[in-house]
Amino acid sequence: MAQLMTNINNGNPLITEEKVSGPWRDAWKAYRKNKIAMIGLIMIVLFIVIAILAPLIAPYDYKAQELSSRLKPPSWAHLFGTDDLGRDLLSRVLYGARISLWVGAFSVLGSIIMGTLLGILAGYYGRWIDMIISRVFDILLAFPSILLAIAIVAILGPSLQNALYAIAIINIPTYGRLVRARVLSLKSEEFITAARAIGMKNSGILIRHILPNSLTPIIVQGTLGIATAIIEAAALGFLGLGAQPPAPEWGKMLSDSRQFIQTAPWTVIFPGVSIMLTVLAFNLMGDGLRDAMDPRMKS
């Protein structure tokens, strides 16, 4: 927005611009000042680019087996070495980024959608709806998350898709309780009372007021949740309940190579380091978003 002022001495108009400000713009400015968080964002972008361009930058087909080259150490021909079937580890790690990011992003998206819906219903309407939904959350949280995921996959059958469903289900209470607490604090605010006073329907209040004002904690928790989902997917893959051969899932690669830790440590190091770096990147980004978007963290 520009403000027009008149310079009395020179008689010329002087235009000064007011900086456009907003909560999202301010949050981005605060986020950019956090160097560690920016490192996390750059790492995530790098992993996304690798996942998208994996067919172009992978030197070999991740399924191609060459038994004569099995368990070869890193070299110019195979930068990450080969596994027990002679498959190029670099190619499998690059393709594995696709699976880990896909499972992490879509499982968290499913958890957010269901958790947000149930949390809004429980927090806004209360009474018996809140009681039923809260008890369901308590039951799900009573089980260790990985054990519950194992049970769900055991019922549905081992596969990458079922692992995604299991990870999404076990994380629904996390987002549901977060949104419920936010809604309970929002529905007593004056602007909600004013919206009811002018005759706005509950659906309009939920969509236009409650949901937008609940996005900040959801975004922060969702970013951190992707890191947790990647670890859970790797754990299910390690147990043989996630991606099935020959899919190059990092957890499955660790499981297949655990017997070669001493004789061929590179078969474990590179998938393990990939998991560590990806989870670290999302944790750094999530911490940065929390600091940038939480008004209590601002001076």
- Asked if 27 and 14 touch (Cβ cutoff 8 Å), the reply is no
What pLDDT, on the 0 to 100 scale, is given for residue 102?
93
47-58+97-297 belongs to which homologous superfamily?
MetI-like (1.10.3720.10)
Question: Residue ranges of the domains in the chain?
Answer: 47-58+97-297
Point out which residues pair with 6 in neighbouring strands.
Answer: 13
Which of 93 and 31 is assigned the larger pLDDT? 93
Q: List, for residues 121-154, the tens digit of each pLDDT value.
A: 988 887 898 899 999 999 999 988 889 999 999 9
Give yes or no for a contact between 233 and 282, defined as CB atoms under 8 angstroms apart: no
- Reading the block at residue 90, the tokens are 């670099």
Confidence of residue 268 (pLDDT cuts 50, 70, 90): very high
Give DSSP secondary structure letters for 22-59. -HHHHHHHHHHT-HHHHHHHHHHHHHHHHHHTHHHH-S
Distance from C-alpha of 82 to C-alpha of 59, rounded to nearest angstrom: 12
pLDDT > 60? residue 291? yes
Q: Buried b / exposed e across 83-119, counting CB within 10 Å, b at 16+?
A: bbbbbbbbbbbbbbbbbbbebbbbbbebbbebbbbbb
**Residue 97 predicted with pLDDT over 60:** yes
pLDDT at 200 over 70: yes
pLDDT digit string, tens, across residues 14-73: 444 445 556 678 778 888 888 898 999 999 999 999 999 999 999 999 988 888 888 999
Mean per-residue pLDDT, 228-235: 92
Q: Which residue has the tokens 């996959």?
A: 153
Question: Which residues, at least 6 apart from 217, have a Cβ–Cβ distance to it below 8 Å?
Answer: 178, 179, 182
Res 297: pLDDT:
53
